[in-house]
Amino acid sequence: MDSEKAGKAWRALAIGLCAAIPVSFYALGDLADAFPGVLTLERPSAAAQAGPPAQGEDLARASAEPLVPAPASEALADLAAGLSARIDALAADPVIGGNLAVSVVDAQTGEAIVARDADAARIPASTLKLLTAAAVLRVLPGETTLTTSAVLEGDTMTLVGTGDMTLTDAKLAALADAAAAMVLEGGARPIALRLDTSALPGGENPAWGGNGRAGGWVAPTAALAVDEGRLDASPYGAKSADPAGDAAQRFAQLLRERGVEVSGEIAPGIAPPTGRSVQVGSAPLEEIVQTTLLHSDNTLAELLAHLVARAHGLEPTPANAAAAVDAEVRALGAELGVPGADLAQLVIRDGSGLSLDNRVSPALQTAVLGRAASGSAPALEPLLYDVPIGGLSGTLAERFSDPGVAPARGVIRGKTGYLGGTAALAGVTALPDGRTVAFDIIVHGFPPEQADEARAGVDRVAAEIVETS
């Protein structure tokens, strides 16, 4: 853990230095993996991969010259014009059919470099998770943990959840060990078990429509869950209809295995303010955010949105979760000077991007990402180093493998999105002159059978951003 803290401190220092002196310290930020680049001091760990490590960590480079980009020049207008022209040419692709929205902004200045249909709000799909992550990182410290407790008073034990849906069976067993010991100290006797979910009532979000639990996309948000409510090992397999209830049933079984008799049915209840208690805690919030973005975890994204609602003093329900993220994003957008017209079009109906009703303009998305990459908002920096790296990790591990888009491999960091005829990629990278930029690319309006071609179109646009000509 100390090494992780040191690594994040190094990243933060590197970003700050790069913000102050972008040219001289670009290589430092790149080495620290604080923002995209071909230099690196560390490779994605096995724990951070959705599958086996992708090939390409030792990707050959044509020459050493691009390793330290040239100073940002006054020729930005020419570079922007050339990039815009190449992107316009790609928009003519039959699959894209002109349905292409792109925003590229200078992270330091917020200046628009490319703006193609950038102010029209589109379905963001899973790139909405970037805004959910930004919202929760603005309202809660990264070291926040979520506790699960067992409170014993008399002959009643109450299992209390506050939102940890990442419980493993081993961690729940550890809680059962401590809870059973607490009961048996007073002599073997039957106990009643209650379940307290008042801290996070959660539930299913009607806005998911056909993209909800039935399709395996997401579990209902809950005060506690084992393995995020998954009923099998697949991320998109069957999901529990009642994750907290299932976790309580498993807890009762673990207590019985430890010699504690649990009588009757598990009933809802509120934990008493007195009584003895034991608890286990989740990983820090910053690690939950990392998992959410790296693997596009819908269940965890919805949980994060509910935490935003609770931080806003609202009851953590699906509707309040969406409203709280919406409010936080609007506040951030206003701080960044996002035009009121863009904010007026913003629609957030969930935290994961599964709803077809969500709407976000590329200009708003890149304003938020640009702030994260500018070094002026340390709380948002996880949006840079927690997202997948093109061709190497997470949901981008298998992307940018074709020779035509290989220049983006290893230097594009971004969050993918696909839903309802929308293919998207939003993230950060660097222009050939060394400028750190935020980008959002959306191809929309294509039929389902052309999904692969649409994603390939997104990748071609991303590759153009890092091309030299």
Residue ending a domain, among 257, 282, 307, is 282
Are residue 123 and residue 200 in the same domain, yes or no? no
d(CA 308, CA 320): 9
Indicate the average pLDDT of the chain: 86
Q: Is 300:165 a contact under the CB 8 Å cutoff?
A: yes
C-alpha dist (Å) from residue 288 to 167, 251, 293, 338:
12, 23, 9, 28
Are residue 214 and residue 121 in the same domain, yes or no? no
Residue 256 lies in a domain: yes
φ, ψ for residue 423, nearest 5 deg: -120, 130
Residue 112: closest CA among 443, 367, 333, 430: 367
Are residue 328 and residue 457 in the same domain, yes or no? yes
CATH of the domain at 232: 3.50.80.20
Q: Residue 396: which domain range?
A: 9-141+317-466
Q: What is the 3-state composition of the chain as percent helix, strand, coil, each rounded to the nearest 5?
A: 45, 20, 40
Residue-wise pLDDT for 293-302, tens only, equals 999 999 999 9
d(CA 33, CA 31): 5
pLDDT tier for residue 420 given thresholds of 50, 70 and 90: confident
Are residue 122 and residue 187 in the same domain, yes or no? no
Are residue 135 and residue 13 in the same domain, yes or no? yes
Residue 71 lies in a domain: yes
Over residues 180-209, the mean pLDDT reads 96
Residue ending a domain, among 237, 267, 282, is 282
Other beta carbons within 10 angstroms of residue 433's beta carbon come to 16
Residue 231 lies in a domain: yes
CATH of the domain at 59: 3.40.710.10
d(CA 46, CA 20): 34
d(CA 408, CA 138): 30
Residue 87: closest CA among 449, 454, 441: 441
Whether pTM exceeds 0.75: yes
pLDDT tier for residue 47 given thresholds of 50, 70 and 90: very low
First-to-last C-alpha distance (Å) of the chain: 43
Local structure of 444: helix, strand or coil: strand
Residue 303 lies in a domain: no
Please report the pLDDT score of residue 247 as a whole number.
98
d(CA 312, CA 323): 10
Number of domains in the chain: 2
Residue 310 lies in a domain: no
Task: Catalogue the E-assigned strands of 73-134.
Answer: 100-106, 112-116
Residue 288 lies in a domain: no
The more confidently predicted of residues 48 and 160 is: 160
Instruction: Return the C-alpha torsion angle 452, 468, 438, 92, nearest 10.
Output: -40
Are residue 136 and residue 164 in the same domain, yes or no? no
Report the b/e string of 81-94 with b at 16+ CB within 10 A.
eebbebbeebbebe
Are residue 131 and residue 169 in the same domain, yes or no? no
Local structure of 13: helix, strand or coil: helix
Please report the pLDDT score of residue 468 as a whole number.
61
Are residue 272 and residue 330 in the same domain, yes or no? no
Residue 233 lies in a domain: yes
Are residue 323 and residue 449 in the same domain, yes or no? yes
In total, the chain counts a number of residues equal to: 469
Residue-wise pLDDT for 88-117, tens only, equals 999 999 999 999 999 999 999 999 999 999
Q: Most distant CA pair in the chain: distance in Å?
A: 81
Over residues 22-28, the mean pLDDT reads 35
Residue ending a domain, among 282, 308, 343, is 282
Task: Give the DSSP per-residue string, 321-378.
Answer: HHHHHHHHHHHHHHHTT--HHHHHH-B---SSS--TT-BB-HHHHHHHHHHHHHTS-G
Are residue 370 and residue 249 in the same domain, yes or no? no
d(CA 372, CA 384): 7
| Tokens 């299932």 belong to residue | 246
Residue 350 lies in a domain: yes
Are residue 130 and residue 226 in the same domain, yes or no? no
Are residue 125 and residue 240 in the same domain, yes or no? no
Please report the pLDDT score of residue 9 as a whole number.
40
